[in-house]
Amino acid sequence: MNLEETKKLLVAGEWVPAADGGVAQTYDPADGQLLASFAEAGPADVDAAVAAARRAFDDPEWRAMSPDARGRLLWRIADLIERDAAALAELETHDQGQPISMSSGVNVVLSAQVFRYYAGWCTKIEGRVSSVSVPDTLHYTRREPVGVCAIITPWNFPLAIAAWKLAPALACGNTVILKPAEQTPLSTLWLARLCVEAGVPAGVVNCLTGGPPAGQALVAHPGVDKVSFTGSTEVGKQIVAGAAGNLKRVSLELGGKAPSIIARDADIDAAVAGNLQGALFNTGQACGAYTRFFVDHKRADEFTEKIAAAAARLPIGPGIRPDTVLGPLVSAEQLDRVAHYVDSGVRQGAQLVTGGRRATGPDVERGHFFEPTVFAGVRDDMVIAREEIFGPVLSIFTYEDEDEVVARANDTDYGLAAVVWTQDTVTAHSLAGRIRAGTVFVNLLPLIDPGAPWGGFGLSGWGREMGSFAVDEFTETKGVFLNLAR
């Protein structure tokens, strides 16, 4: 990507600088080097993008495009993501910090996959004939696009999260304004370019880079019909309040504090390997990351010893190095936040088994690296047990029986993901039914698949993404009553 090009916003099919000339910078978290400047959208840019999206929504070129043609468009975007996969993965790793194995093997792959998946949906968005009791009438439903959608995304999986919202929004015939996080705007700008190259009509996809003010202006804008947001619970609440003016549709994918239950009969080596990955992928900066480890008291010492030893051995370094497993945290602010939580764990009396400090060494001293950290003897009321840390910090608790562990695992404001490690199918299904979370994994890493719903209970948000659920989120239902009386 030509780094001059990053300084423009995509509005009505044209790349333009911010109206007030605003520019901000994004840095490589592995070494603190300036990566690129980007345009900082102001209120005039938000107005222009919303107006462009509205015009495009009403324009027959988009509104009357056949489902088959829309499907082909989405398929082309998937092809273009794959064409640029290596460069996109490298860009994401420099901007976000994640290991190249993750940006290329998960982030970019999922992005292309989700466009293919929703390309197929374009020809399958159907209403139904309703079983009404009014005599001599026919009633049927239509699924219609919601309208102008603001898609506001976080910094942890920038490309994949933008893709998993944009693909269903377009499949359903909406128009969109993408607003990536200010820490990681580059891969979303690239995605917007690919949409233009694929032939998406002008104004159907707009892209505004910038910080919270651009997001706030979109959320409050009377010309926006829906906000699809992924980010922190705190900002999610502000979005609900900000969207009240015109009662926008709002879907929210927010924080998590996933419990991992390791039953007495669990294969401990498999649980250690899976939990380590589940806790530390993207350096723990994942909403579905496993963070609260409830281990049957008879297996707790073995589990703690093994997972701490394995965590301490993980290669830490710049994400661009092929052997890196733990990259940097996204920013200095995030590094401070994680260090603050670790200090609070120590102060409140948790036992620090490994880690607990900023990583040191020639490869990491200029970046935002933190050692993988394992606490044992954690109490349910400690801050590290209750708040989302979003870093490489694991907390181990012990439990005695199933009723107790269910109550404690569910004693959280969040409810996004959970995992159960057991070799017994009855235990697996029983716990899957009793844990309050949007997704329960059994003997598995936290995975995202375009065909499986993703979203949470409680403070983890509103609605579900992926599968047919995203089609519901990005459409309105209209009923049509016909008089058939002669």
Q: Which residues are catalytic?
A: 253, 287
The CA-based angle 286-282-237, given to 5 degrees, is 25
Nearer to ligand NAD, 256 or 317 (CB): 256
Interface pick for ligand NAD out of 200, 388, 415, 439 (rule CB under 6 A): 388
Q: Which stretch binds ligand NAD (CB under 6 A): 2-10, 71-79, 155-163, 296-304?
A: 155-163
Q: Does 153 bind ligand NAD (CB under 6 A)?
A: yes
Q: Does 453 bind ligand NAD (CB under 6 A)?
A: no
Q: Does 40 bind ligand NAD (CB under 6 A)?
A: no
Q: Does 238 bind ligand NAD (CB under 6 A)?
A: yes
Contacts of 198 (CB under 8 A, 6+ apart): 73, 76, 77, 80
Question: Tokens for 30?
Answer: 């592995």
Give residue 370's Cα distance to chain centre.
22
Q: Does 92 bind ligand NAD (CB under 6 A)?
A: no
Q: Does 113 bind ligand NAD (CB under 6 A)?
A: no
Q: Does 154 bind ligand NAD (CB under 6 A)?
A: yes
Interface pick for ligand NAD out of 127, 211, 453, 458 (rule CB under 6 A): 211
Binding mask 406-425 for ligand NAD (x = CB under 6 A): ----------x---------
User: Which residue has its beta carbon closest to ligand NAD?
Assistant: 215
Instruction: Name the pairing type of β-strands 475-483 and 137-145.
Output: antiparallel
Q: How far apart are CA 226 and CA 45, in angstroms?
A: 18
Nearer to ligand NAD, 235 or 470 (CB): 235
Q: C-beta of 12: minimal distance to ligand NAD in Å? A: 22
Q: How far apart are CA 190 and CA 166, in angstroms?
A: 13
Q: Does 282 bind ligand NAD (CB under 6 A)?
A: no
Nearer to ligand NAD, 186 or 295 (CB): 186
Q: How far apart are CA 150 and CA 175, in angstroms?
A: 9
Helix (H) or strand (E) holding 120: helix 108-121
Positions 287 through 326 that interact with ligand NAD (CB under 6 A): 287
Q: Does 152 bind ligand NAD (CB under 6 A)?
A: yes
Interface pick for ligand NAD out of 97, 99, 256, 415 (rule CB under 6 A): 256
Nearer to ligand NAD, 102 or 272 (CB): 102
Q: C-beta of 234: minimal distance to ligand NAD in Å? A: 7
Q: Look up residue 200 and give its DSSP letter.
A: P
Question: Tokens for 302?
Answer: 């073995």
Interface pick for ligand NAD out of 6, 156, 275, 331 (rule CB under 6 A): 156
Question: Exposed, middle or buried by CB within 10 Å (0-12, 13-18, 19+), for 365?
Answer: exposed
Positions 170 through 199 that interact with ligand NAD (CB under 6 A): 179, 181-182
DSSP string, 410-445: T-SS--SEEEEE-S-HHHHHHHHHHS-SSEEEESS-
Q: C-beta of 182: minimal distance to ligand NAD in Å? A: 5
Contacts of 282 (CB under 8 A, 6+ apart): 98, 102, 156, 157, 289, 327
Long-range contacts of 82-89 (CB under 8 A, 24+ apart): 82/112, 84/190, 84/194, 85/109, 85/112, 87/1, 88/159, 88/187, 88/190
Q: C-beta of 91: minimal distance to ligand NAD in Å? A: 18
Interface pick for ligand NAD out of 73, 239, 268, 271 (rule CB under 6 A): 239
Q: How far apart are CA 178 and CA 374, in angstroms?
A: 37
Buried b / exposed e over 86-98, threshold 16 CB at 10 Å, is eebbbbbbbbbbb
Interface pick for ligand NAD out of 37, 101, 141, 232 (rule CB under 6 A): 232
Q: Which stretch binds ligand NAD (CB under 6 A): 34-42, 67-75, 134-142, 149-157?
A: 149-157
Q: C-beta of 90: minimal distance to ligand NAD in Å? A: 21
Q: Does 235 bind ligand NAD (CB under 6 A)?
A: yes
Binding site for ligand NAD (CB under 6 A): 152-156, 161, 179, 181-182, 211-212, 215-216, 219, 230-232, 235, 238-239, 253-256, 287, 388, 390, 416, 461
